[in-house]
């Protein structure tokens, strides 16, 4: 290959600062979106299993509507279609205070909430129906049964697929560059623009994503281990 590598572009000039800034933005964006996704996911996932049809329909509508439209479209939706619904001064205030970032966060959070919802629902579905019946028989209301019995068990069951979703969310945050959020992928492109060294910049971006994702996976594995209820999941694999 006729290409001269020049890895020093990654730490000379402003590249290092740009990458760091990109990592911070990616983490902020992903963390906030993750919180939205988890809250919406638990709520709608639980609602899809309750014995009250209108709530089930509502939750089903949310899930099917939001997960079946491409994320890129949601980015444009939250950035271009939502602000015009607000009064003009509010719009201007938003656009001066990081509207791009918030639109990106909402797009990512609401989209992944719909996907998270299915994960939670499958967790709830894995719990024998008798547990719910036993809870109600003991005098708990439906809400109490979900809060005290069903959800605590379901959330433990869904840690592995939940981790999967979380990693997807982190990587999907790169779509926010289409609405000018200067996250990690944006910054790697920036380095490429300035130095014309595409391979070095992309490699740096790839490694950073890899490290972030591996860290999350490790933390989640520990969480799973820590909160495991002895005897609930019979075949626990050896750690590692």
Partner 1 sequence: MMRTLSLLLALAVALTATPALAQDTLDKIKASGVLVIGTRTGSPPFAYVNKNNEWVGFSIDLVEQLVKPSVEKAVGKSIKIEKKESTPPTRIPLLTSNSVDLIAGTMTDTPQRRESVDFSLTFFYTGAQFLVKKGSPIHGVNDIAGKRIASQQGSTNAKILREKYPQAQLREFPDQPAAFQALLQGQVDAYTNDGIQLAGLKVKAPKPDDWEVVGDFYSEEPYGMAMRKGDAKFKAAVDAGLKRGFESGKYFEIYDKWFGAKGELPYPMTPQVKAYLLKQIGK
Residues that bind partner 1 (CB under 8 A): 76, 79-80, 83-84, 88, 91-92, 95-96, 99-100, 177-180, 182, 186, 189-190, 192-194
CB of 202 vs partner 1, minimal distance in Å: 14
User: Residue 58: which residues within 8 A CB-CB, separation 6 or more?
Assistant: 47
CB of 189 vs partner 1, minimal distance in Å: 7
Please identify, using beta-carbon distances, which residue of 118 and 192 lies nearer to partner 1.
Answer: 192
Please identify, using beta-carbon distances, which residue of 28 and 192 lies nearer to partner 1.
Answer: 192
- Cα(97)–Cα(18) distance, integer angstroms: 20
CB of 24 vs partner 1, minimal distance in Å: 18
Please identify, using beta-carbon distances, which residue of 92 and 133 lies nearer to partner 1.
Answer: 92
Please identify, using beta-carbon distances, which residue of 101 and 132 lies nearer to partner 1.
Answer: 101
Please identify, using beta-carbon distances, which residue of 43 and 198 lies nearer to partner 1.
Answer: 198
Q: Do the Cβ atoms of 29 and 181 come closer than 8 Å?
A: yes
- Cα(66)–Cα(44) distance, integer angstroms: 12
- Cα(208)–Cα(173) distance, integer angstroms: 14
Please identify, using beta-carbon distances, which residue of 110 and 179 lies nearer to partner 1.
Answer: 179
CB of 193 vs partner 1, minimal distance in Å: 4
CB of 212 vs partner 1, minimal distance in Å: 23
- Cα(85)–Cα(83) distance, integer angstroms: 5
CB of 88 vs partner 1, minimal distance in Å: 8
Beta strands per DSSP E along the chain: none
Three-state DSSP class for 55? helix
DSSP 8-state assignment for residue 77 = I
- Cα(155)–Cα(128) distance, integer angstroms: 15
H helix or E strand, kind and range, residue 221: helix 198-227
Q: Do the Cβ atoms of 119 and 161 come closer than 8 Å?
A: yes
CB of 159 vs partner 1, minimal distance in Å: 36
C-beta contacts of 133-142 below 8 A and 24+ residues apart = 142/50, 142/51
Q: Do the Cβ atoms of 148 and 197 come closer than 8 Å?
A: no
Please identify, using beta-carbon distances, which residue of 88 and 235 lies nearer to partner 1.
Answer: 88
């Amino acid at each position: 290959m006729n290409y001269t590598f020049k890895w020093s572009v990654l730490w000379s000039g402003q590249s290092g600062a740009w990458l760091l800034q990109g990592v911070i933005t990616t983490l902020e964006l992903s963390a906030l979106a993750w919180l939205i996704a988890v809250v919406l996911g638990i709520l709608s996932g639980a609602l899809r299993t309750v014995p009250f049809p209108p709530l089930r329909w509502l939750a089903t509508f949310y899930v099917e509507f939001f997960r079946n439209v491409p994320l890129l479209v949601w980015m444009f939706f939250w950035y271009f279609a939502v602000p015009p619904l607000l009064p003009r001064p509010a719009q201007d205030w938003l656009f001066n205070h990081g509207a791009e970032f918030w639109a990106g966060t909402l797009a990512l959070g609401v989209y992944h909430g719909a996907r998270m919802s299915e994960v939670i629902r499958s967790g709830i579905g894995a719990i024998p129906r008798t547990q719910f019946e036993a809870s109600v028989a003991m005098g708990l209301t439906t809400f109490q049964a979900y809060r005290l019995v069903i959800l605590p068990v379901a959330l433990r069951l869904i840690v592995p697929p939940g981790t999967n979703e979380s990693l997807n969310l982190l990587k999907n945050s790169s779509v926010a560059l289409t609405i000018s959020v200067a996250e990690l992928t944006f910054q790697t492109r920036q380095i490429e623009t300035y130095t014309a060294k595409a391979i070095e910049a992309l490699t740096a971006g790839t490694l950073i994503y890899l490290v972030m994702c591996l860290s999350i996976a490790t933390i989640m594995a520990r969480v799973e281990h820590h909160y495991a209820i002895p005897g609930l999941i019979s075949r626990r694999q050896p750690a590692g």
